[in-house]
């Protein structure tokens, strides 16, 4: 069993391990959609058991073996009020799994010779200016692309994209509220760093928002026109992987995309102030934060099958490879400078992904969750399995929830010896 506490660093919000309960047969009251695969029924059991245990309305699971899609199913309800079941292609917020899209987009620019890992991010973003009269911590201009990918940029706080920071940013710079990420970055430039970049790793959504703006700046210069982060990722990462419906999500329920599930907090969840001035108090999932500003860090919506397509396309396990072999190795093997043991041994490697070395290769993964809203996981294992799951709610204790769900599913992958030889992607 790997050290699962490290897994939960890769999430959209802050994330003790709970015991896995004995599995029951899938509840007949939970609708299931997609093609049933009898040899993989233990995954149906696990998903429906977790939903019952944590009182979750809907979920989704997709699995590929050696690049072949062998399972794609929906469980429970996408919309409880209308009794609409989750479909295999329903769209979910994917939280911090969004960061993996951002990381691959950065590496695509690196392959094109447009950036290097040691380039200074804020020198690339030289057009972004701090508030007038503000002093700037000069260490800011030494933050590298690699340090942002590995959460070593210098920020301790992980709530800079949320209230009250976001409102302070809008007010200080005289920009619309809620603010776009660019406004938040300009405001944050006036705030001293918490530590010298590269000396420690502290999970940072904000750092990935900076990477999103780097992608925009470099891609725009490449195309000699304004190119948004979403446009670049869609064109250079998603479409080549065969993903056509993934997009940046909306904040309010009225902005729910066609085919997107609804998100449900736990019963009696506390309402929070809305990021939209004058909107009073709202459920966190629908106005407690501004999803567009979090785009490169946690703003995408996609299906579990979309994520499996992405996970198998990175190195060409399915379809044309998104990255060259040497770039893929760079993503998996680059040391995290601050993660050294007392004896000097290197402890962690990888750009964005959590990477675990195995006897027969590596496992790599990323989790994502938004409190009172949703949770998901994308993993590739050394046995050739790519798996993604989604839920449209999350337990009241996100730490306990994911530290039950992720190890339980990981163990089930490792225990499974026989996999189907079919490919649902090739099926009519």
Task: List residues bridging with 414 in a β-sheet.
Answer: none
* pLDDT the model gives residue 267: 82
Task: List residues bridging with 415 in a β-sheet.
Answer: none
* pLDDT the model gives residue 225: 84
Length of the chain: 428
Nearest CA to 385 among 360, 405, 404? 360
**DSSP code of residue 251:** S
CB-side neighbour CA atoms (13 Å) of 365: 28
Cβ neighbours, 10 Å, residue 281: 11
* pLDDT the model gives residue 5: 38
* pLDDT the model gives residue 392: 97
User: Which residues have CB under 8 Å from 310's CB, separation 6+?
Assistant: 100, 101, 104, 237, 238, 241, 243, 378
Nearest CA to 384 among 75, 48, 68? 68
pLDDT one digit per residue (tens) for the chain, 428 residues: 334 334 444 443 332 222 233 333 444 578 999 999 999 999 999 999 999 999 999 999 999 999 999 999 999 999 999 999 999 999 999 999 999 999 999 999 999 999 999 999 999 999 999 999 999 999 999 999 999 999 999 998 767 888 999 999 999 999 999 999 999 999 999 999 999 999 999 999 999 999 999 999 999 987 788 899 999 999 999 999 999 999 999 999 999 999 999 999 988 889 999 999 999 999 999 999 999 999 999 999 999 999 999 999 999 999 999 999 999 999 999 999 988 766 666 689 999 999 998 888 999 999 999 988 999 999 999 999 999 999 999 988 888 899 999 999 999 999 998 899 999 999 76
Residue linked to tokens 């057009």: 127
Question: In whole angstroms, what separates CA 347 from the centre of its chain?
Answer: 23
3-state secondary structure 193-231: CCCCCCCCCCCCHHHHHHHHHHHHHHHHHHHCCCCCHHH
How far apart are the C-alpha atoms of 309 and 68, rounded to whole Å? 10
Question: In whole angstroms, what separates CA 228 from the centre of its chain?
Answer: 19
Tell me how many degrees the CA angle 37-42-43 measures, rounded to the nearest 5. Answer: 75
How far apart are the C-alpha atoms of 97 and 307, rounded to whole Å? 9
For CA atoms 232, 63, 348, 376, give the dihedral sign: positive
Q: Give the three-state DSSP class for 89.
A: coil
* pLDDT the model gives residue 339: 82
The dihedrals phi and psi of 120, each to the nearest 5 degrees, come to -90, 120
Convert the pLDDT of each residue in 194-244 to its tens digit: 999 999 999 999 999 999 999 999 999 877 888 999 999 999 999 999 999
* pLDDT the model gives residue 124: 97
Q: Do strands 84-85 and 374-380 pair parallel, antiparallel, or not at all (unpaired)? A: unpaired
Nearest CA to 260 among 390, 167, 406? 390
CB-neighbour burial class of residue 293 (10 A; exposed 0-12, middle 13-18, buried 19+)? buried
Angle between helix 205-223 and 98-111 (nearest 10) = 40
* pLDDT the model gives residue 268: 82
Structure tokens at 405: 């769900």
How far apart are the C-alpha atoms of 354 and 8, rounded to whole Å? 10
How far apart are the C-alpha atoms of 423 and 309, rounded to whole Å? 12
Nearest CA to 406 among 69, 97, 75, 86? 97
């Amino acid at each position: 069993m790997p050290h699962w506490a490290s897994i939960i660093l890769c999430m959209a919000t802050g994330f003790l391990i709970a015991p896995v309960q004995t599995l029951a047969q899938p509840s007949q009251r939970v609708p299931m959609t997609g093609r049933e695969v009898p040899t993989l029924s233990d995954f149906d059991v696990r998903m429906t058991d977790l939903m019952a245990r944590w009182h979750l309305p809907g979920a989704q699971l997709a699995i590929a073996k050696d690049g072949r899609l062998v399972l794609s199913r929906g469980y429970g309800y996408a919309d409880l009020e209308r009794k609409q079941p989750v479909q295999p292609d329903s769209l979910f917020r994917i939280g911090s799994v969004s960061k993996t899209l951002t990381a691959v987009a950065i590496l695509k620019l690196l392959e094109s010779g447009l950036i290097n890992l040691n380039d200074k991010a804020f020198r690339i973003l030289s057009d972004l200016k701090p508030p007038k009269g503000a002093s700037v911590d000069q260490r800011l201009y030494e933050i590298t692309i690699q340090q942002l990918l590995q959460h070593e940029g210098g920020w301790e706080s992980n709530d800079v994209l949320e209230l009250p920071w976001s409102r302070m940013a809008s007010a200080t710079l005289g920009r619309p509220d809620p603010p776009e990420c660019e406004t938040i970055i300009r405001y944050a430039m006036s705030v001293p760093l918490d530590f010298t970049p590269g000396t420690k790793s502290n999970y940072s959504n904000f750092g990935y928002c900076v990477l999103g703006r780097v992608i925009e700046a470099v891609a725009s210069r490449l195309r000699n026109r304004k190119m948004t982060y979403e446009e670049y990722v869609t064109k250079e990462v998603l479409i080549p992987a065969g993903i056509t419906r993934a997009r940046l999500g909306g904040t309010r329920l009225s902005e729910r995309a066609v085919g997107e599930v609804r998100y449900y907090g736990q019963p009696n969840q506390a309402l929070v102030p809305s990021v939209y001035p004058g909107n009073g108090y709202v459920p966190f999932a629908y106005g407690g934060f501004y999803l567009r500003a979090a785009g490169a860090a946690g703003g995408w919506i996609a299906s579990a099958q979309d994520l499996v397509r992405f996970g198998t396309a990175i190195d060409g396990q399915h379809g044309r490879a998104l990255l060259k072999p040497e770039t893929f190795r760079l993503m998996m093997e680059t040391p995290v400078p601050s993660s050294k043991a007392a004896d000097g041994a290197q402890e962690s490697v990888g750009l964005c992904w959590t990477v675990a070395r195995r006897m027969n290769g590596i496992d790599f993964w990323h989790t994502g969750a938004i409190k009172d809203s949703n949770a998901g996981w994308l993993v590739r294992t050394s046995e050739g399995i790519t798996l993604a799951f989604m839920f449209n709610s999350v337990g009241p204790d996100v730490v306990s929830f994911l530290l039950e769900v992720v190890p339980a599913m990981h163990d089930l992958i490792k225990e499974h010896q026989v996999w189907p030889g079919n490919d649902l992607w090739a099926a009519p």
